[in-house]
Amino acid sequence: MDHVAKVGSWGELYVMLGTSSAALIGLLFVATSLHLKTMVDHPVLRTRSRNLTLHLVVMLVQATAVLTPQPLRSLGIEIIVNLCGLVLPLTFLYLTIFRPARRRVKGSGFSLYMGIAYILGYATGIVGGVALSQALLWGLYLVTFSNAIFFVLVILNGWKLMLGIQESE
């Protein structure tokens, strides 16, 4: 397998990405456990915390896949499968747009702009995964851009989560 030769310096970037994702998952668990009653009492905060964890897990799994010695085609397929997390923002977007106004929860915590940004991140990663599954190395640029989008959005949503916890206490 010529995976290492093709991935090259990408490995260092994905070691950093995987490490930071794992660290943020740990910090999210600590923050959530310190404010467990608040999290349980507020469905918006609970949902936001769950979604942040899932997006971080997607980043961690992608980093693991890139660092695993394997053919580019296999890597591409793994990334496409991993990005099935696209269902999450699509579901929230669907509920936001098509749920009758009388049934919408005010202050649901879902931002239409954040949802679209997550969808853009997932879609970019899927296109990158498809390119990798065709053994086209430039797909890693798209997968990396996708992870950069996730990273920024996770940090912004983490900030919103902290503010929501503070307001609730």
To the nearest 10°, the Cα dihedral for 43, 82, 118, 127? -160
pTM, full prediction: 0.84
Give me the pLDDT at residue 108, please: 53
pLDDT at 16: 94
| Selection from 120, 59, 56, 52 nearest residue 86 by Cα | 120
- Contact partners, residue 48, CB within 8 Å, separation at least 6: 109, 157, 160, 161, 164
| Cα 15 to Cα 89: distance, rounded to the nearest angstrom | 26
pLDDT per residue rounded down to tens, the chain (169 residues): 455 556 678 889 999 999 999 999 999 889 888 888 888 888 888 888 888 898 899 999 999 999 999 998 999 999 988 878 888 888 878 877 776 655 555 555 567 788 889 999 999 999 999 999 999 999 999 999 999 999 999 998 888 888 877 777 6
| pLDDT value at residue 1 | 47
pLDDT digits (tens, 9 = 90+) for 115-132: 889 999 999 999 999 999
pLDDT tens readout for residues 76-89: 999 988 878 888 88
* pLDDT value at residue 169: 66
Name the residue among 165, 118, 169 with its Cα closest to residue 146. Answer: 118
From residue 158, alpha-carbon distances to 31, 36, 150, 153 in Å are: 10, 16, 12, 8
Return the pLDDT at 36: 84
Per-residue pLDDT, 130: 94
